[in-house]
Chain A
Amino acid sequence: MIKFKLSSLPIFSESEFREKALGLTSSGCRISSFFASAVEGKRKLYLVLSDDEAGTVQVITTQPAAVPGNSGELSFHTLTTENPAFHLFEREIFEQSGIRPEGHPWLKPVRYPDRRPAETDFFRVEGSEIHQVAVGPVHAGIIEPGHFRFQCHGETVYHLETAHGFQHRGIETNLIGGPRPADLCKIEVTAGDSSIAHSTAYCRILEVLSETAPPARAEAIRAIALELERCANHIGDLGALAGDIGYLPTSSYCGRIRGDFLNMSALICGNRFGRGVIQPGGTGFDLSDKIKEQLLARLSAGRDDFISAVSLLWDSPTVLARFESTGTVSQEASEQIGMVGPAARASGCGRDIRQNHPSGIYRTDCPKIAVSDKGDVFSRAWVRWLEVKESIDFIEKLLQGLPSGDVFIDGAQKPAADTLAVSLVEGWRGEVCHTAITGTDGRFSSYKIVDPSFHNWFGLALALRDEQISDFPVCNKSFNLSYCGFDL
C-alpha cells in the first residue's frame, strides 16, 4: 500500500502520459488500475502501475483534452492499439466517465449495455459454416449470471466473447463520501468468495490514509483469514474441476473438505466467509488459545484429507489426459493481457502480491510462490494444489508463532485529505487493487476497485481459441472468475 499527496502527483500532458504509460508497461510494469476521476471539477485519468521486480507502485495522471466542437466531451488517444492490456480499462473509462479513447478498436459497454444498445453487437466470424452458440446469462448450474458468445466451426471455437453486467450494484459510487461504518459490509460482498481479500484491501486504504498501523497480532490473524479463504476456494475448485470431467471421488470429497476449511473461518469469527474479521485498524476477533489449538488440529486433519483426495487426480491417467494441453494460455499472451493470480502463475508469470508487493505479515514471511509453465488446465489445477499445501503450512506457522498483544487500534476512520492511496492484496484469484482519492474534507471523492477477474476474463477467451467447445466448462472452472467482482 502506498499513498501520494494529490499535489505531489505530476500531471502530464497527453503525449507525455502516453509515452510514459507505454514506456513503463513495456519495461516490466503492469496495469493495476486505470480510471477517470473528477477532482475539483477537473476530470483526470489515473494510471496505477505496479513494478513487480522492484516492488514499487507508481501513479501517473493526465488531463484529457476537450474534443473540438463538442462542448464538454473529453478524449484521449487510445493506448489499446499499442498495448492490449489497456483494452478493458479504456472501455470502462468511457462507460463510467464519457472520456472517449479515440481509436479504440472495440469500444463496447462493459457493464451497462442498455446505455448504448447500438454498440453491443458481438464480434462475428463470417462464413456459412460458422455457427454461433450463446450461453447464459441463465446457466444450468448454480452459478452467477454472465453471457458467453462462441463463434464455432463445428466443435472448434474460433472466438469467445464474454458479456457481463448482470449484477452490478454500484459499489464504487456507493463508497463515495465515505468512509462510513456500513461500507465495510459492501466491500465484503464485492466478490462474496473473496471477502477477506477485498476487506483487507479496503482497510489498508483507510489505515494508510490515517497513518495507523494495526498491531502485529492483528496482521497475523488477517493473514490466517486470507490463507484460509485461499485454501477453501482452491479446494472447492479442484473438486469442481474433477466434477466437470466426471471424476467423482475427488469431486465429492473436495466438496466436503472445502466445507471444513470454511468452518475454520467460522471458528474464528462465526461466519464461513470470514465476514467481520477484517476491520480498519486490526481485526474484529481475537484467537483464544483454545481456538488456536482447535484450528491447528483441524488444519492437520484437513491437510491429510486434502492430500489424499486430490492425489487421486494426479494418480489417474484419464484425468491427466483430460487436463493436459486443454485451454492453454501462453506466457506471452498472459503477459500481454496482464493476467494475474494463479492463472498467470500457471502460465509461468511468477507474480504474486504477497511476494512482490508485501504488506502486513508478508513483509517478514511469505509462503513459497507456486509457478507452473504450461498454462493449461492442468497447470492451473497444479498451481492451486501447490498453493493450498503452502498456505496450510503458512497458517500453521503463523498460529504457532502468533504475536501477543492487542488486535485492534483506534483511529483508522479518519483519512487524510487530498490524498490518493493504493492498496494491493493477493486474493485467491489474484491481485485485488483498491485505489481511493480523498477530497479536501478527508472523504472519498473517488474509489476504484479492480478485482482479479477484471484482468483475467480475457485470458479465458484466449484459452478457448481453437479449443473444443465441449472443453469450455473445464477451462472456465480452471479460472473460476467472479461475475459480481467484475460487475461491482
Chain B
Amino acid sequence: MIINICLSIAAALVLSPLLGGIINKTKAFYAGRKGSPVLQLYFDLFKLFRKESVISTSATFIFQAAPAIIFTSTLAATIFVPFIPGLPAPSFTCDFILLFYLLGLSRFFLIISALDTGSSFEGMGASREAFFSALAEPVTFVTILTMLRLGGGTSIQAAFRGLSSESWIIIILTAVPFFIVMLAENARIPFDDPNTHLELTMIHEVMLLDNSGANLALMEWAASIKLWLFSLIIVKILLPAEILTPAAYTGLTILAVPAVAVITGTVESVMARASLLKVPQLLFSAGIIAFLGFFLSLNQFLGW
C-alpha cells in the first residue's frame, strides 16, 4: 500500500505540471503560434520558489497558511486514485467522499484566503467559485454513484472497471459529464479563461492575485495536481481494466492522461468562453446527462 501511495504522490508531483504545458501547446497549435515550451510550468514553479513572498498588511494568518493547506489536501486526494493497478491501495467504504471533500477543503481555504485579502476582485472570484462548485458537486457525485452501480462496490476502486461491451453507453454518459465537471473545477474554458488578464472576468486566477513567490507556486502546483487528478479519473472511468494486463493498463494510463489534456486544449481552442450567466445552464446540462447515465445503471441488464 505504501508503494502505491508513494507512486501516486510522486506521479502527481512530477507529472502534473506537464498537463498545463500540453494544453497550452495544443492551444498554440490551433492558434497558429509556436507557443510556450511544454515544460514552461516547471520553469515557472522553479522561478517562483526562489522568489520571496510579499504579503499584504491587511491579510491574516489564514492567508499565509492557506497555500500549504490547499497544496497538501489536494495532494492527499490523489492517493485514492492509484496509478498502478494490482498493488494494494488505500480503500474503504465511501472513500470517494473523502477524496472529493479533500478537494472541497482545499477550495474552502482558497475561498477564505481570497476573502482575507479584502480585495473587491478576489471577493467576486470567491463568490463565483463557491456558487459554481456547489452546482458542480452533485454532478460529480452522481457520476461516481453510476460508476459504483456498475462496479458493484462502495469504494472508488470499484468504480474503475472501465468500458465494457454491455455498459459502454452508461460509461460514456458518465465520462462526458465528468469531463464537463473537470473543465469547471479546473477553471478551463468555457467556464473560466486561464489565460485572461481581465480581473473582472476571472474566477480561479483572481483568487491568486495577492499570492506571490513560494505561496503562489504552491497554489499553481496544487491547481495542476487537481487537473492531473481529474484527468486520471476520466482515464480510469474509460480504460477497460479487466481485459488489460497491469503493465498495459499502466502504459495506456500514462498515454491517455496527456490525451485528455490535448482534448481539453482542443475544446478551449474551438469554443469561446461562456457568459457567467450561462455557467449554471452548462452544469445543469452535465447533471442531466449524468442522471441519465445513473438511471440506465439502475438496471444493468437492459440488453445493450
Contact = CB atoms under 8 A, between A and B. Distances in A.
Interface string B94-138: 000000000000000000000000001101100110000000000
A316 B271 CA distance: 7
Interface in B167-200: 189-190, 193, 195-200
Nearest to A154: B127
Which of A242, A245, A251 gathers the greatest number of chain B CB atoms within 10 Å? A245
Contacts of B193: 245-246
B276 interface: yes
A246 B200 contact: no
B201 A133 contact: no
B274 interface: yes
B30 A318 contact: no
A134 B210 CA distance: 16
B275 interface: yes
B274 A252 contact: no
Interface residues on B, range: 20 to 34
B270 interface: yes
B272 A316 contact: yes
Contacts of A318: 190, 271-274
B49 to A, nearest CB: 24
A20 interface: no
Which of B27, B30, B272 gathers the greatest number of chain A CB atoms within 10 Å? B272
Interface in A241-294: 242, 244-249, 251-253
Given A246-B189, A470-B276, A251 B31 contact: yes
B277 interface: yes
A468 B277 contact: yes
A286 to B, nearest CB: 36
B198 A141 contact: yes
Interface string B262-288: 000000111111111110000000000
A459 B193 CA distance: 27
Contacts of B189: 246
A26 interface: no
Interface string A447-468: 0000000000000000000001
A274 to B, nearest CB: 28
B50 interface: no
A468 B120 contact: no
A287 B163 CA distance: 68
Given A132-B120, A133-B121, A249-B269, A471 B198 contact: no
Which of A131, A133, A253, A472 gathers the greatest number of chain B CB atoms within 10 Å? A133
A471 B124 contact: no
Nearest to A142: B197
B276 A246 contact: no
A332 interface: no
A472 B200 contact: yes
Nearest to A157: B200
B32 interface: yes
Interface of A: 131-135, 140-141, 154-155, 242, 244-249, 251-253, 316, 318-319, 321-322, 326, 468-473
13 contacts: A132-B120, A133-B121, A133-B124, A135-B199, A141-B197, A246-B190, A248-B27, A248-B30, A321-B275, A322-B274, A468-B276, A468-B277, A473-B198
Interface of B: 27, 30-33, 120-121, 123-124, 127-128, 189-190, 193, 195-201, 268-278
Given A247-B273, A251-B31, A470-B275, 18 more contacts: A133-B121, A134-B120, A155-B124, A242-B272, A246-B195, A246-B268, A246-B272, A246-B273, A247-B271, A252-B31, A252-B32, A316-B270, A316-B271, A318-B190, A318-B271, A468-B276, A470-B200, A473-B201
